[in-house]
Amino acid sequence: MLGSRLWPRVFCTAANARLARQFTTTRSIRTSGILTTLDIPTKAAPIITRRLSQADDHSVDHEADQQFSLNWRGATPQTVLIIKKANDTNVDSALARISQWLHTEYPQINIVLEPPVFDQFHSTLPFVHKIPNGMHTEYSRIIDFVVTLGGDGTFLHVSSLFEKQVPPIIPFSMGTLGFLLPFNVRDFQLQMRRVIEGSATLLPRMRLMYSRFKADGTLDKSGGVNVTNEACIHRGTYPHLTTISCFLNNHLLTTSVGDGIIVGTPTGSTAYSLSAGGPIVHPLVSSMIVSPVCPRSLSFRPLILPSSSVVKLQVHKKSRGRATAYMDGRDCGELLQGEYIEVRKSPYPLMCVNRSDLAAGWALDINQLLQFNRTFSYPHDTPFSDDDPNSREE
């Protein structure tokens, strides 16, 4: 199922080098040295407008009304960032092919790679640009849209590169699962043209803003960080269960003894929260999920809260063990007794290029990738095989 979505093994290193030399132009390459993003002008923000459905009945919300369209103000975008999965030869070949195609079809578009990836490809793709070391703000200053080649982890990595608003992302699935990635990399030319020409559909994926506080209520320096999947307090490597008090809009909801508590987004509902027994939430449902991790209780069930909620997770002062805060799986340091995190809806959603028919694509994904409602008695087919989709939408 997933193997058909991988890039064919037909682009060797020598071929990449020949193609790169063929497509090299004097406009984009200096005689010596390295192209950096310091030479690229500051971007002009695109116009992102809400799509309007063609439904006759506007008394109820239509799916199209919750998606958006992209407009480059009558021009083409000037800079694209390509993010790739590490240590994968298929992904490396795809990056080279896409970069060469972009350089040929749209020579006015600057191609930017992360520093480690730039070092890997500079000799065969000398027209690409590098973000100077230590100049993290360059991503927000110049990048018009982002291309990801990999899995869901590669997609999530993009969020960490931008402090606030993230440019539109076009994700191509070349990873292990790819539930968040709607496009096959074999169709990159069609999908890239739609983005560049401004005819793509954008799906806003809600993010959370995580803030960390000391026991006396002072904000920690690491506060105000945007996360895509979830924020979590977990006992980590400590042998004792941790005691966590969960507050909803400053009102005590419950105090849990267990491994931890997850606060997630609809996007994160198919990640760690799902493994902890949480619900699957459609990405257009603006909400927050609270899921316990192995609680010492049979009655602490997952909750779905309004997206306007503010959730506070505090390590109880009588907790036997300490806890660790995590954001999208990244260790964010230890929390002592009395310290806490606050999680609320971020004002900066991820704008993701998506299928125009979101409902059909989402139904295919949960059936084919997550094997939704597959029974033990039908290992290869659903009980109603006529309803079983045969392939994902290309």
Just list the catalytic residues: 152
According to DSSP, residue 349 is labeled -
Torsion of CA 120, 37, 168, 304, to 10 degrees: 80
Q: Are 145 and 112 in contact (CB under 8 A)?
A: no
- C-alpha 352/C-alpha 269 separation (Å) is 17
In whole angstroms, give the CA distance from residue 324 to residue 387.
Answer: 44
* Backbone CA torsion sign across 162, 50, 193, 266: positive
Where does residue 362 fall: left (phi above 0), alpha (psi -120 to 50 degrees), or beta otherwise?
alpha
> Under a CB-based contact definition with an 8 Å cutoff, are residues 231 and 326 in contact?
yes
Q: Report helix, strand or coil for 219.
A: strand
Q: Which residues lie below 8 Å from residue 392, measured CB to CB, with a gap of 6+?
A: 5, 184, 361, 364, 365, 368
Half-sphere exposure of 319 (CA within 13 A, CB side): 32
Encoded tokens for 91: 């992904």
How many degrees, rounded to 5, is the angle at CA 364 between CA 2 and CA 368? 40
Burial of 95 (0-12, 13-18, 19+ CB in 10 A): buried
Give yes or no for a contact between 206 and 266, defined as CB atoms under 8 angstroms apart.
Answer: yes
Please tell me whether residue 275 adopts helix, strand or coil conformation. helix
Q: Which residues contact 297 (CB under 8 A, 6 or more apart)?
A: 256, 257, 258
Distance of CA 233 to the CA centre of its chain: 21
Strand-pair category, 68-71 with 47-50: antiparallel
Distance CA 46, CA 74 (A): 10
What token pair was written down for 146? 């982002």
